[in-house]
Amino acid sequence: MGIFDFLSGQFIDVIHWTDDTRDTMVWRFEREGHEIKYGAKLTVREGQAAVFIHEGQLADVFTPGLYMLETNNMPVMTSLQHWDHGFKSPFKSEIYFVNTTRFSDLKWGTKNPIMCRDPEFGPVRIRAFGTYTIRVTDPAKFMTEIVGTDGEFTMDEISFQIRNIIVSQFSAAIAASGIPVLDMAANTPELGKVLAGHVSPALEQYGLSMPELYIENISLPPAVEAALDKRTSMGIAGDLNKFTQYSAAEAMTAAAANPSGGMGAGLGMGMGMAMAQMAQPGPWGARAAEQPVQAPTVAPPPLPVEHVWHVADSGKTTGPFSRASMGRMVSDGTLTRETLVWTAGQDGWQKAEDVADLATLFTILPPPLPGN
């Protein structure tokens, strides 16, 4: 250390810290070689604490006030490591100023949905976000557990860890509250207090406390929100018959306003007639609309009509005979290709071989020999 640095260290005898960053939690008073003049004045303002580190060990914690750094007024804390006050000027120590005010408007939120069990919907996934405040309540513990030798410790360096603690305790707080999902929006202050109660024990290990925690919003997955919207719409619609009539009236108004007419006009007339029938009393009116709609019954098709034929034999008419009977007659020779037959709808008597339905009966028999 040069002579000018040594002299500046001897003449500077006021140790204090003012902060305008609003996010600095700990600041180390910098001095060349960490030499502090014996008898220097230490100013600790409201919302601050000064921590003395001597020979690598935490020695003293000064609360707000004005102190003369002399042997007879060093408020050594009995719970901390004692250190020898018989030093010579200047003595080498480190002084850390700790901001003990509240750090407010800090954000937290669930990165991924959290699974919880709802008494009405069963297992659901929810998201949440909000704000919180944090403050240092035990500067000595905060220095030993978190800061270490960091000369300028900001809120950003610990906010990520605090957010993780909040999110990890959020599901436990929701389960302990017993509040249904649909009622959480109306009970966010109570949920915030419950969540802060779960988070506080973990923060106390770092010398921190959480005076306030707010839940700004709790949301459900989009699919669940869509189902809730449908359920709400059904509740608003109320009587579905009246809602149908109202929808039909709206459709008629829209169709009438359409100058193109055509299909729109026909659709409006049809819906109007249906609405009129529903509005009329009686079995076809509103009472009928209240009855459950039954599916129309479909009648089976009629059985096919079997043709029967009359046969001319030796100037006499016999029959009628079915096609199966005609086939047996072909087999025993009583019905030949030249036999005249007639059936309803046929234009006069015709040879059996000229009737399409009977011609196939003769294909199983050979034709007569020529000349016979």
pLDDT of residue 106: 92
The answer on 262 and 154 residing in a single domain is no
Number of structural domains (the chain) is: 4
8 Å CB contact between 316 and 305: no
Q: What is the CATH number for 315? A: 3.30.1490
SS3 370: coil
Please report whether residue 210 resides in a domain.
Answer: yes
Question: Rounded CA gap, 28 and 50, in Å?
Answer: 9
For the chain, list residues with pLDDT below 70: 1-13, 32-35, 38, 70-92, 234-243, 246, 256, 258-296, 302-305, 364-372
The answer as to whether 298 is a domain residue is no
Q: For 29-55, write each residue's pLDDT tens digit.
A: 877 655 677 677 889 999 999 998 877
Q: Residue 116 and residue 220: Cα distance in Å, rounded?
A: 11
End-to-end CA distance of the chain: 150
* Shared-domain flag, residues 259 and 213: no
3-state secondary structure of 319: strand
Residue 122 located in a structural domain: yes
For residue 259, the enclosing domain spans 239-274
Q: Residue 246 falls within a domain, yes or no?
A: yes
Kindly state whether residues 139 and 93 are assigned to the same domain: no
Say if residue 210 is in the same domain as residue 318.
Answer: no
Q: What are the tokens at 293?
A: 């709609």
Q: What is the pTM of this model?
A: 0.54
Identify the CA nearest to 74 among candidates 55, 56, 54. 54
314 lies in the same domain as 340: yes
**Virtual torsion, Cα 357, 358, 362, 363, nearest 10 deg:** 0
- In a shared domain, residues 339 and 253: no
Q: What is the pLDDT of residue 207?
A: 94
Digit-coded pLDDT (tens) for 338-363: 888 888 777 788 887 887 777 777 77
Domain match, 196 and 117 both: yes
